[in-house]
Amino acid sequence: MLYRTLGRTGMKVSPYALGTLMFATVIGNPDPDDSIKVIHKALDAGINVVDTADAYGDSEEIVGRALKGRRDSVILATKVGFPRLNALPRTPGAAVDPNQRGASRRWIMNAVEGSLRRLQTDYIDLYQIHRPDPDTDIEETLSALSDLIRSGKVRAIGSSTMPASDIIEAQWVAERRGLERFHTEQPPYSILNRSIESEVLPAAQRYGMGTLVWGPLGQGMLTGRVRRGEQNDLRRARLSTHLTDERRIDVVEQLIPLADDAGMPLAHLAMAFAIAHPGVTSAILGPRTMEHLDNLLAGVDVTLTDEILDRIDEIVTPGTDVTRLDQAYLPPALLNPNLRRRPVSERGAA
């Protein structure tokens, strides 16, 4: 593989990164030993970035087992912010502890110890905030993460699915307060979701941040397994409303003949597209089985011509999304109507 520098960290990373959500036995591969074999195969193929999160159930434990004896050759990334799958209440209606999530100093300092223990390591190469936390001042978050870097428990820090305005604010706060800054961003990016091309990727490039993009296969839609009028395992599983979205299926139906004309599977076209952007460092693939990994690795050397990229631009306009992702971050003003409406008494006469 042709390795790339991750922002200004100096760390060299493969253009494909291995995501581990599908190794969680709760929602993915039920056989941890099989998942470990998949991880080993990815490492043997030259992938040197393994990305996980404390929210991914028992994924961190499985990754920790897989990296025994190979830890020093891996750029290990994990995330904090969401509640852990295994820690969610099983009783319907039971409350989740509000302090066991988010980006407060209290939770970060607690969560990192759990991740280190589960990963069976004494340091994390890249520790990322899973989503922006509007309830916590970014200075508080960066201060805690800076202390983790100074303690040697973390080598670099990053954000995930953060709006461009928040990325810029975090850079300014870090500079003005003498804190460590985010070295990376992990945004969603695929042919179906290109909105980060407008502001997020330019902002990351402006500040020398590396990017590890997630969802390059469009949550499974760009594997070629989702077709109009056909039932398949992905849609039966109801993993996402996007799998039945007619607008996205329309685009897939246009991309399949394009991939055929280019002489490659749709999945290879999708992965090659994701890593072709100069602002993208690595694209995270999320195989559940060895077969999934082998199919994706077969396209690692695929390069798209300008002609193919132009045809993709004609199908999906650069900087736009073909519907918003379920997993996308929504700021409070979009979630709470009261934050975007004046009180009735202040609206004046109709």
Q: Are 46 and 15 in contact (CB under 8 A)?
A: no
- Rounded to an integer, what distance in angstroms lies between the CA atom of residue 259 and that of residue 83? 39
Only one residue has tokens 């300008």, namely 306
CA within 13 Å, CB half, 38: 32
Q: Are 164 and 201 in contact (CB under 8 A)?
A: no
In this structure, what token pair is assigned to residue 29? 């591969």
- Rounded to an integer, what distance in angstroms lies between the CA atom of residue 111 and that of residue 95? 19
- Rounded to an integer, what distance in angstroms lies between the CA atom of residue 274 and that of residue 330? 23
- Rounded to an integer, what distance in angstroms lies between the CA atom of residue 331 and that of residue 343? 20
Torsion angle of C-alpha atoms 334, 337, 342, 347, degrees rounded to 10: 120
Helices (H), ranges, the chain: 32-44, 59-66, 105-119, 138-151, 164-177, 200-206, 233-237, 246-262, 266-276, 290-297, 306-315, 332-335
3-state SS, 245-274, equals CHHHHHHHHHHHHHHHHHCCCHHHHHHHHH
Q: Hey, which residues are catalytic here?
A: 56
Q: Are 100 and 136 in contact (CB under 8 A)?
A: no
CA within 13 Å, CB half, 320: 11
Q: Are 9 and 3 in contact (CB under 8 A)?
A: no
The total of other beta-carbon atoms located within 10 Å of residue 80's CB is 28
